Amino acid sequence: MLLSHKTEAAWAQDAARRFEHKLRAVRVRSAEKIPSRAVDGVHNNKADGGAYTPDDGLCWWTNGFWAGMLWQAYRMTGDEAYKEVARYTERRLDDCFRSYCGLHHDVGFMWLPSAVADYRLTADGDARRRGLHAASLLAGRFNPAGFIRAWNDIPGSEADTRGWAIIDCMFNIPLLYWASEETGDPRFRKIAMTHADTVAANFVRADGSVRHIVEFDPETGAFVRDYGGQGYAQGSSWTRGQAWGLYGFVMSYKHTGAVRYLAMAEKIAAYFIAHIPADGAIPVDFCQPEEPRWYDDIAAAVAACGLLELADLVPEKQEVYLSPALKMLHRLDDTADWDEGRDGFLCNCSADYHGREHNVNFTYGDYYFLEALLKLTGQGIFLW
């Protein structure tokens, strides 16, 4: 999307330039890391944990986003150093394939912005193989009752997760769409669309808000119950879940042309837009109490990306979607850490409402912030 308003276009170009300028410094410090966050201005390293520690190691679900940032910057600048550092992630994530047990529904998040991005930009054969391997693993989690199972069994827990599905997976299924487009095999696409239809029927409420976790009967596919998950409570509106649903249905529409997915994205978008606070700072949950008022910059960045896509796809409503996206992105710009001596950008991220991590940085939030800026300048690459 190229902005027609000169002031906004100049801002977007400047923000993207500042992001890339800082990223050049960060990539040197983090060249042999797979960071999930910056702690006190220093990237951690998930590559240190090994492939057999899914909570802390190589199989962590956000491990593709650092490479995604680097590939976006490579597309923006043509700087070969970005490509070389990005491929470090791909090579290290091969250990996850070998260990297998730490992987679950989030392989799309791991290999779309890393290996598949590489293949799209360079036609590298190893990158293609990695992407198709990951797609086959995701397809293998499909329950013919109509959904892709979320997590594996939870160690030490008596919870039966065989029938669990989550809204986040709407953003993993683009890996299956890509695999069908790449191979011509319709199985991947059919699995993705079946899951998307199940989500539309069971996750999206009448008002456009979405559930985080839904439990189905693993034998019949019947709805059993929902869970509050990472939001404030059961029945509330976890904002990052709203964003996954909004942008995820946009992606299903772009890959399939099925207008029902565009309609669902617009329904979720209407709810999200109606609940954006006046200052553009997105809470962890739209239904959370006034205090403590935790924020989630990640939800803002992901939702902004989805709204920018809708502004292109539905030109008669361009301003309806563009204005709130810009409002949130300006807020992120105003509150981001632009110090080139520190790693990480977004400062007000939250893992979940009731967790201990608030007002922190997460790498995947940084990724979506950059993606949104590059959508505005027309310099990005389609990774999903």
CATH of the domain at 210: 1.50.10.10
What is the pTM for the complete model shown? 0.97
* Average pLDDT of the residues in 26-38: 97
* Structural domain harbouring 82: 6-377
Using alpha carbons, list the distances in angstroms from residue 204 to 146, 213, 268, 300, 365.
Answer: 16, 11, 8, 19, 24
- Asked, for residue 114, whether it belongs to a domain, the answer is yes
Q: Quick one: pLDDT at residue 52?
A: 53
- Give yes or no for residue 260 having a pLDDT over 80: yes
Catalytically annotated residue among 118, 168, 343, 366: 168
State residue 149's pLDDT score. 98
Does a structural domain hold residue 384? no
The stretch 144-151 carries a mean pLDDT of: 97
Q: Is residue 355 part of a domain?
A: yes
CB count, 10 Å around CB of 292? 9
Catalytic residue among 48, 94, 106, 226: 106
Decide if 265 is inside a domain: yes
Q: Is 1 a member of any domain?
A: no
168 is catalytic: yes
How many domains, in total, are found in the chain? 1
pLDDT, position 208: 98
Residue 150 placed within a domain: yes
270-275: Cβ within 8 A, 24+ apart? 270/208, 271/207, 271/208, 271/209, 271/237, 271/242, 272/208, 272/239, 272/242, 272/243, 272/246, 272/303, 272/307, 272/324, 273/307, 273/320, 273/321, 273/324, 275/237
pLDDT band at residue 50 using 50, 70 and 90 as cut-offs: low
pLDDT, residue 48, reads 85
CA distance 375 to 381: 8
Identify the CA nearest to 308 among candidates 377, 236, 224, 208: 377
Lowest mean pLDDT among 32-41, 156-165, 289-298: 156-165
- Per-residue pLDDT, 158: 82
Select the more confidently predicted residue: 342 or 99.
342
Is position 13 within any domain? Answer: yes
Confidence band of 305 (pLDDT split at 50, 70, 90): very high
One-letter amino acid at 131 equals G
Residue 383 lies in a domain: no
Rounded-to-integer distance, Cα 188 and Cα 207, Å: 31
Query: Strand order in 164-166's β-sheet?
Result: 164-166, 213-216, 223-227
pLDDT of 29: 98
Say what the pLDDT of residue 371 is: 98
- Check if 106 is active-site: yes
Mean pLDDT of 189-206: 98
Question: What is the spatial distance between Cα 61 and Cα 110, in angstroms, rounded to a whole number?
Answer: 6
